[in-house]
Amino acid sequence: MSSQDIPEENLPAEHSAGHNEHGAVTVADDKNPFADPGLPPHEHRVQDIDERAAKRSERVVAMLFTVSMLATVGFIASYVAIPHDKSIFVFPIGHINALNFALGLTLGLALFAIGAGAVHWARTLMSDEEIADERHPIEAPPEVKAKVMADFKQGAKESALGRRKLIRNTMFGALALFPLSGVMLLRDLGPLPGTKLRHTLWSKGKLLVNVNTNEPLRASDVAVGSLTFAKPEGLEETDENFQTEIAKAALMIVRLQPENIKDKQELDWSYQGIVAYSKICTHVGCPISLYEQQTHHVLCPCHQSTFDLSDGARVIFGPAGHALPQLRIGVNDQGYLEALGDFEEPVGPAFWERG
Ligand code: FES
């Protein structure tokens, strides 16, 4: 509808220079490109001009309320009459408990009928008068601002804050210190982790134990191209903190040809081409489980981060932000693989980017 179609009486009353009494723009200009179009003509409902239509609407509303009453009676009857272990077949849901079905159906119908009746009543029979509430400027008029400032100054004067410096200073002190009680409550979130997040169970001399056989690994057990998962000796699945510790200490062991290892530190920290890396993805901590023997890539199944084990386990694809931490390993006198210390950096999802 264009503004030409709007009757004169529905257009906003002009006040001065293209503005109505509340400041709304009634005539567009360069400064105010959108004029207030006013209200469209009011269209009377059929119930307002035809008494028979109004009676029909009245009967519909009464019928809906009656349906609600019947549904409520049905709800009570269902509750009393239907055994709680009876089941019925309802297409397409299948077999369900008859009592639950009846209670849900009747209760839903009772509520729906009340709502539908109320809406129909409001839309067809209640008053249809249109009321426009003009939006007022947000900014307070100058006299209100002046009154607020005067009240503020009067309050400051009456409180004698400027004169009674002792009260003023102690009050500021009290207000400044009070938030500290909230800070103290943060202690209840503790105890602080301390350096626990920086260390795993690995330490110098700890044997690498195959997680499948629960036997310590010999260097000769690790074949080229195989992927073996290991845990620190002494950590058993029955331990109370097993999940916590294995989540930090889980290792994957791979044997590469030493000449295929491109990274010097990786070579130094390996034993005859056997490398030990954290199994925990540095993206969000999924366990890495896929190894491509030909390319020496390991792949995280969660979001496909891919790490090159022949090049310091650096990320070559995916969202992980850091290479996998490597564990320095060697063999003991009996030929068993052992750790030569802990990881030198935190394992897992990058320890919040490690500062
Ligand atoms: S957790 Fe490994 S890629 Fe997301």
pLDDT in tens, 204-235: 999 999 999 999 999 998 998 889 999 999 99
The answer to whether residue 23 scores a pLDDT higher than 70 is no
Same domain, 98 and 231: no
* Cα-Cα end-to-end distance for the chain: 62
Q: Ligand 1 in contact with 319 (CB < 6 A)?
A: yes
**285 Cβ partners below 8 Å, 6+ apart?**
247, 348, 349
pLDDT in tens, 158-194: 888 778 888 889 999 999 999 988 888 887 887 777 7
Phi, psi torsion values for 213, nearest 5 degrees: -95, -15
Contacts 24+ apart (CB under 8 A), 138-142: none
Joined together, the tokens standing for residue 247 give 């989540």
Mean local confidence (pLDDT), 45-55: 91
Whether the Cβ atoms of residue 339 and residue 202 lie closer than 8 Å to each other: yes
**280 Cβ partners below 8 Å, 6+ apart?**
247, 248, 250, 286, 287, 288, 324, 347, 348, 349
Whether the Cβ atoms of residue 130 and residue 42 lie closer than 8 Å to each other: yes
The pTM of the whole model exceeds 0.75: no
Whether 105 is in a domain gets the answer yes
Whether 339 is in a domain gets the answer yes
The answer to whether residue 355 scores a pLDDT higher than 80 is no
- How far is the centre of ligand 1, averaged over its atoms, from the C-alpha of 282 (Å)? 7
Whether 172 is in a domain gets the answer no
Whether 183 is in a domain gets the answer no
Same domain, 223 and 350: yes
Domain span including residue 227? 199-354
Same domain, 107 and 243: no
Q: Ligand 1 in contact with 330 (CB < 6 A)?
A: no
Mean local confidence (pLDDT), 77-97: 90
pLDDT score of 170: 92
Same domain, 237 and 340: yes
Q: Ligand 1 in contact with 318 (CB < 6 A)?
A: yes
* Atom 4 in ligand 1: residue holding the nearest Cα: 303
Whether the Cβ atoms of residue 318 and residue 326 lie closer than 8 Å to each other: no
Joined together, the tokens standing for residue 60 give 């519909």
Whether 30 is in a domain gets the answer no
pLDDT score of 323: 92
pLDDT in tens, 258-292: 999 999 999 999 999 999 999 999 999 999 989 99
Domain boundary among 81, 107, 124: 124
Domain boundary among 100, 124, 148: 124
pLDDT in tens, 314-347: 999 999 988 999 999 999 999 999 999 999 988 9
Rounded to 5 degrees, what angle do the CA atoms 199, 203, 208 make? 110
To test the ligand 1 pocket, which listed residue (281, 297, 306, 324) has its Cβ within 8 A of the most ligand atoms?
A: 281
pLDDT in tens, 129-163: 877 777 777 788 899 999 999 999 998 888 887 78
Q: Are strands 290-292 and 297-299 parallel, antiparallel or unpaired?
A: antiparallel
pLDDT score of 246: 93
Number of domains in the chain: 2
H or E, element range at 230: strand 227-232
Whether 132 is in a domain gets the answer no
Whether the Cβ atoms of residue 335 and residue 219 lie closer than 8 Å to each other: yes
* H-only helix segments in 208-332: 242-249, 264-268
